[in-house]
Chains A and B, each alone.
Chain A
Amino acid sequence: MNPRRVAAVARRIAEGFRRDRRSLALLVVAPLVIVALLGWVLRDQKSTVVDLAVVNEAGAIGSRITDALTTATANAPNGVSLVETDESEAVARDRIRNGQIDLALVLPSTLLSDVAAGHQPTLTVITAGTDPAAEGGAFASLQSVLGTVASTIAPPGSAPIIPKIEHQTVYLSPDADQVDVLAPVFLGLFAYFFVFILTGISFLRERVGGTLERLLATPVTRAEIVLGYAIGFSVFATLQVLILLGYVLGRIDVPTIGPVGAFTIGLGVQSAGNPAIAFLVALLMAVGAVNLGIYLSTFARTELQVLQFIPIVIVPQGLLGGIFWPIDRLPDILQAIAHVLPVTYAVDALREVMLKGGDLGSSAVQTDLLVLAGIAVLFVLLGAFTIKREVA
Chain B
Amino acid sequence: MEEISIEEVENNDRELLEVAPALISVHPFEKSVVVAIGPELRVFDLEETDPMNIVEAYSNVLTVLCLFLCFCLDRGSRQISIVDDSGDPLHSHSIRAICFGANGSLFASAGDDKLVKIWSADSWKCIRTVLSEKRVSAVAISHDGLFVSFADKFGVVWVVGFGGDNEKNKAAPIFAHYCSIITSLLFSPDGRFIVSADRDFKIRATVFPRKPLNGAHEIQSFCLGHTEYISCLVFICTLEYPKGFLLSGSGDSTVRLWDFTSGSLLSTCEVGVQAGLVESNGKDEVLCPAVTDICASPDGSVVAVAIQRQIVTMGDIFSPTSLDMGSFGMHIWLVTGASNLPSFDSASLACVKVVSGFQKDSPHFTEHGPVMLENNDIPGGDKLLETMQGSISIENERKALGTAIEAVKKAMHNLLIKRQYSDEKREFRKRGRNDRKLKQ
Partners in one complex: no
